Amino acid sequence: MQTDIIMPQLGESIAEGTIITWLISPGGRVEKDQSLLEVETDKVALEIPSPSSGFLTEVLIPAGQTVPVGTLLARLNTESPDAEVVSRVGGVVVRQMDHSPADEDHYSPAVKQLAKEHGVDLSTLTGSGGGGRITKKDVLDYVAQHENTRKTATRPVARTEPVAAAHDDQVLPLTAMRKMIAERMVKSRQTSAHVVTVFEADFSAVAKLREGRTLTYLPFVIHALARAIRDAPILNSSWSEAGIIQKRDIHIGIAVALEEGLLVPVVKHADRKRLTQLSQEVTDLADRARSKRLQPEEVQGGTFTITNHGGFGSLFSTPIIHQPQIAILGVGAVQKRAVVINEAIAIHPMAYLSLSFDHRVIDGATADRFMKKVKSYLETSEWKQVL
């Protein structure tokens, strides 16, 4: 019997996905729940398991293409008697979409939002996605083309040589994740008024409690940060033209470095969890991020982000804000340094904490008061009470 493999709905607001690679070649055998292909959205990259055992008889959408949810991707010749057109993939059940003339002008929410931001009439664009569907890349390419045209018409053309690879240079193709990160970072710098403030924190109390335990420094930082956000909830907000949107729940995103880029899984309700629970959850999220086993909802809903660049030995950082949040905390390496304590020189484990914040929402005084709280909570000697 035959099972249709279709693009699953990988999250509430996800309308399309990009096929990164097929993990099974056409004609190849696959076992039930074995990874069949790798899919990436603007929220997460993950591997999709096969709904049945059998042979991949036909691949209709090749790697590299972006297609809407419900698109028929491939066909699987299954050995299971209960195989059907409905495929259970990615933890959800989806059916192939019935396309009708009335649906031809349907655009994904992400595409419509992008077009609105740049004043683009989508009806004038030709789509490069499956079935002629307009993708975010189509909109961005259109904006870039018209921006270049406008600049050319309003100022002299600069005599600059185009960037080209020399004969001994290696050109590394851009992955979908790298393109996405590039777009987001540039957009964040263009959106928020970035300002950075740096504090130094004494980790002596934290180091003392860690003795004989498997806890890393990160759970302590998350706990201190969540306490400080409760004291200064304006840091847990987003900017909008209608006003500042202050979030009630505290969901802390943790930047996880992958070989090909970066993912930010989210610790939900971080202010309600103890150190041990935070440690277990962070380890689990990071492990599954690196093995591409995160669920879409696990990278959504963050209200504040931490980037632990100190894990690689970095001391200072000026991280870029993860939109639509208004701040991100950079945590430097914890190092033993000579410091002055009570008029005497002592050796203490110290680390620099950098806060990048959106000056549209808060001023320097607010940011510094907030960081003073984070520092104070980290240096507390009462960590056993929240173990």
Write down the pLDDT at residue 254.
96
102 pLDDT band, cuts 50/70/90, is very low
Q: What average pLDDT does range 160-170 have in this prediction? A: 71
Q: What is the DSSP letter of 162?
A: P
- Whether the pLDDT of residue 166 is over 90: the answer is no
Say which residue the tokens 């777009």 belong to.
Answer: 183
44 pLDDT band, cuts 50/70/90, is confident
Say which residue the tokens 């993912």 belong to.
Answer: 263
Write down the pLDDT at residue 193.
94
Write down the pLDDT at residue 93.
39
Write down the pLDDT at residue 43.
65
* Surface-to-core class of residue 174, CB atoms within 10 Å of its CB (0-12 exposed, 13-18 middle, 19+ buried): exposed
Q: What average pLDDT does range 181-200 have in this prediction? A: 93
Write down the pLDDT at residue 116.
78
Write down the pLDDT at residue 211.
93
Write down the pLDDT at residue 94.
40
Structure tokens belonging to residue 50: 């096969």
- Whether the pLDDT of residue 108 is over 80: the answer is no
Structure tokens belonging to residue 238: 């987003």
Q: Are 11 and 298 in contact (CB under 8 A)?
A: no
Write down the pLDDT at residue 149.
56
Pairing relation of β-strands 335-341 and 344-358? antiparallel
Q: Nearest CA to 295 among 3, 102, 9, 4?
A: 9
Question: Which of 14-18, 81-85, 263-267 is modeled with the greatest confidence?
Answer: 263-267
Question: How far apart (Å, rounded) are the C-alpha atoms in residues 68 and 8?
Answer: 9
Neighbours of 29 (CB within 10 A): 13
Evaluate the omega torsion of the peptide bond into residue 51 and state whether it is cis, within 30 degrees of 0. no
> Model confidence over 324-382: pLDDT tens digits?
999 999 999 999 999 999 999 999 999 999 999 999 999 999 999 999 999 999 998 78
Write down the pLDDT at residue 173.
85
Q: Which domains does the chain have, with CATH numbers?
A: 2-98 (2.40.50.100), 108-147 (4.10.320.10), 193-386 (3.30.559.10)
Write down the pLDDT at residue 163.
67
Structure tokens belonging to residue 345: 């020189």
> Model confidence over 239-285: pLDDT tens digits?
998 999 999 999 999 999 988 788 899 999 999 999 999 999 999 99
Say which residue the tokens 């950075």 belong to.
Answer: 196
Write down the pLDDT at residue 334.
97
Mean pLDDT of the chain: 84
Write down the pLDDT at residue 129.
67
Q: Are 230 and 271 in contact (CB under 8 A)?
A: yes
* Surface-to-core class of residue 181, CB atoms within 10 Å of its CB (0-12 exposed, 13-18 middle, 19+ buried): middle
Write down the pLDDT at residue 153.
53
Write down the pLDDT at residue 202.
97
**C-alpha distance across the termini of the chain, in Å:** 54
Name, in order, each residue with C-beta under 8 angstroms of 291's C-beta and a sequence gap of 6 or more: none
| Poorest-pLDDT segment among 30-39, 206-215, 326-335 | 30-39
Structure tokens belonging to residue 363: 């001023």
33: left (phi over 0), alpha (psi -120 to 50) or beta: left
Q: Nearest CA to 18 among 45, 40, 48?
A: 40
DSSP H or E segment with residue 372:
helix 364-378
Question: How far apart (Å, rounded) are the C-alpha atoms in residues 346 and 230?
Answer: 33
Q: Nearest CA to 202 among 331, 372, 375, 355?
A: 375
Residues with catalytic roles: 359, 363
Q: What average pLDDT does range 177-196 have in this prediction? A: 90
* φ/ψ of residue 199, rounded to 5: -125, 160
> Model confidence over 136-160: pLDDT tens digits?
778 887 887 776 655 555 555 444 4
